[in-house]
Structures are given as structure tokens and as C-alpha cells.
A and B are shown apart, each in its own frame.
Chain A
């Protein structure tokens, strides 16, 4: 999967590394600011007793 993605990325090796870094950064931001807060609500629903 990852090797296939690597091959699909345009440009030379340096350009590919930069693209991977950018994609990783975008994925991390999306996870930490959108996905994980949502997941937190789903996995740990509000309760009234446990603190």
C-alpha cells in the first residue's frame, strides 16, 4: 500500500519526501483537531459519576 503510494507520488526522491512530510503533517493536524476530539466523545461518552 505504502510502496504503491510512494510510486504514485510525482517528482524525484526529494520531492516525494517533501510531499510525504506534508501529507503526514496534514493528517496529524486533522487527527488531533478533528478526528480525535470526535473519537473521544464516542469512546468516552459523558457520565455523571466517574471523575
Chain B
């Protein structure tokens, strides 16, 4: 297919399309389509991590916690010794009336943080003891148990159910620190205003910002009261979560 143009002096110009080698054109087209496909798959993977997997695992952890019955049995606090021993269940009304997660020994991703939900730093005390009961959970991904940790406000209560005792802690304050600031889970937590020896603290830790994880967010609580599990769920919590 060509186009002939004749100039006034009789010169004829023949215009013709530039024909590239067909094989090269096909190869570049295929290469471009492969790149586009890879880009789409990458975006789908991001969607999988941030939405699909997060919701799926979050629901699984929540169901696991709600259906964890006395028959399964919490390991008594004095007998907790092994990694992933499940010894408690946590309720944080600020995170939602249906929010609940199990607490297990250790902070390994698998199976504690990824499957169970909340992990206990092994070098810290157990709930109710003098010192600092420190726990960790994901903020984003794998259910993001502590996603709303930054929304805690002064006076918020958290409830920890164990085999024999309910521990009710009252929120004190939140700080964002560097990953190297390990003193935040010390017996007397560093950076906590007015921290003293002899107090019974709870420290919740998680990564921040969500999905970036360059810093750590830390929330401190102090034990407000305890009650026997024989007395049932604390009344104030029961009002929030119902008779579950």
C-alpha cells in the first residue's frame, strides 16, 4: 500500500509505510503484555495482603477466640512453659464490641501472632503480677489484632480472662518509639510517665505505621482490679459484649 506524489518538476515521490520486521514486533508486544500482566498480578497481591488475607485471618482469629471453650482449657498461668501455650483471652471494647483474641506464650509469628493473635513476651511477668505483663500483636496483616491501638483513650479498660481470674487493666498512655527502645517493656517501663516499682503494668506493643513498620507503638495500662472467673464475666464487660 503506497501513495505516489508528483512534484511540479516531474519528480515522483513514492510514500510507503515503514514495515518493521514482523517477528520483532510480535516479540515486543508479547514482552509488553507480560510486563502488564506482572503489574496486574502485583497489584492483586497487594490487595490480597492488605484486604483479603487481613480480613480472612482476622475473622479466623476472632472465631477461634470466641469458640475457645473451657473444654479446650486455658493453661493455668503458673503452668505456662511452652511456646504457644494459650493462657488467656483479651477483650478491648475500644476495638469493637465483638473484638476478642486469645493470648499465647511467645511472640513468634507462627503460630502465635499469625494464627492465634496475641503473644506474650516470655521475659516479662504474667497477668496480675508485680512488674510488666507485655504482649504483642500485628497491626496490619494477619488480622491486625492491634490495628486500633492508637485509638485508646485515657480510662479505657481492657479485660484479660484466664483460667481462674479476670484481670482488668486501665489505659494510661501511648507512645511511638523506635524498635530499639526495648525498655518500654521493662519491669518499670521506660518512657511511661510516673512509672514506679511495685506497680502491675500491662504493655501492648505493635508495629507502626501500618504496613510500614519502621517504628513501634506502645500502650501502657495499670491493673485496676481482678475477679474470679467463677463469678462470670465482669458486669461492665457483659454490658458491652452481651451474654456471649
Contact = CB atoms under 8 A, between A and B. Distances in A.
Interface of A: 1-2, 28, 31-32, 36-37, 39-40, 46-51
Interface in B8-39: 29-30, 33-34
B138 interface: yes
A51 B206 contact: yes
B110 interface: yes
A47 B109 contact: yes
A47 B179 CA distance: 14
5 contacts: A31-B45, A32-B48, A50-B207, A51-B206, A51-B207
B123 interface: no
A51 B113 contact: yes
Contacts of B30: 1
A46 B110 contact: yes
Contacts of B138: 51
B48 A46 contact: no
A31 B44 contact: yes
B40 to A, nearest CB: 10
B143 to A, nearest CB: 12
Contacts of B136: 51
A4 to B, nearest CB: 9
Contacts of B33: 1-2
A40 B49 contact: yes
Given A50-B213, A51-B205, A40 B53 contact: yes
Given A1-B29, A1-B30, A46-B110, A51 B137 contact: yes
